[in-house]
Amino acid sequence: MTVWTREAIEALGPTTDVPTVASIFGVNKDTVYSAIRRGEWTTTRVLPLGRKIKIPTRDLLAVLYDAEAPTGPTAPVRPAVPSQCQHAPLPQVEPAESQSQCGCRSEESAVIRPLRGA
């Protein structure tokens, strides 16, 4: 059994896999996979890369060692997946309904319109 210190987590590199994350938190890897699948994993960001799932080690360090981060029931919940807000707005996509907090909508809820002059 590995003793997970801050230095050991930093040595993992920029990302790690789910079994390693489960080991760090002392839970079964199937528990973490299930929480991710159900959208209930809010501890860190989840980076799906094809069939693989990667977890940023920076998120693990922030959760485990950031003493200034708020904790408890009033702490803000980080999403299990990266925000859709990481892209530039596309002029040919018009939202089919009013925008939410970020102004982004998934492809399924938008109507594609041709560009003018095209």
List pLDDT tens digits, range 22-42.
999 999 999 999 999 999 999
Q: What is the pLDDT of residue 47?
A: 93
Six token digits for residue 4: 């997970």
pTM above the 0.85 mark? no
CA distance 19 to 56: 13
